[in-house]
Amino acid sequence: MKRLIAMILLAACAPASDPAALRALFDAEQVARLNVPVILLTTEDLATPLIAGAQTGRVQTWQSRDEVQVSEIAGVLIATRGLGHDLMVADVGAGVRAGADQYARHWMHLDGRLQLVRQDAQCRLALQGTQIHQAPLETPLVQVFVETCGGTDPITNTYHMGADGVVWWSQQWVSDQVGMVTLERIAR
């Protein structure tokens, strides 16, 4: 029932091209009334709120009212749907979980002929500092991590992680066509 109410409230938040205007709709009162986890997804062409959907093991899926979906593990994007040239699947890098200095990452996309194309890279994760994150109900201190992945087309992802492991803000690569997505936690 709580999920249905959240979807009805979010239905008023049509996808937009102005992330700041959409973010402004989520004041503390609105977020407290929702009482469900919400993230804001933005790309170059789209801004839309997503609510927590199914969780299977460590994989959390988020979805919007217009069928945009993202799946992540501990804040690391592993799949998208509904963005066009979606990320079909990615790993989270076993090395990053183990604290390795360098680790392998893999991403898979569909090409124009609907064939899976795999992209591999060696990555490093570095702590860049700390800052305060502004969310409607919380202002956590976050550590800023930058993940740099080499290869033919280098990729740089950024994560703002709280002391409890919650990723409050991230900018992550999806595909050459979509580019980067920003995921911002509005409520947990």
Domain ranges of the chain: 2-121+169-187
Q: How far apart are CA 105 and CA 108, in angstroms?
A: 10
- How many helices, marked H, and strands, marked E, lie in the chain? 4, 12
| Structure confidence by residue, pLDDT tens digits, 15-69 | 556 777 777 778 788 877 877 899 999 999 899 999 999 999 999 999 998 899 9
| Strand pairing class (116-132; 167-175) | unpaired
Question: What is the C-alpha to C-alpha distance for residues 87 and 83, in angstroms, rounded to an integer?
Answer: 9
Q: What is the pLDDT of residues 97-119, one digit of tens each?
A: 556 778 989 999 888 788 898 99
Provide the whole-model pTM: 0.86
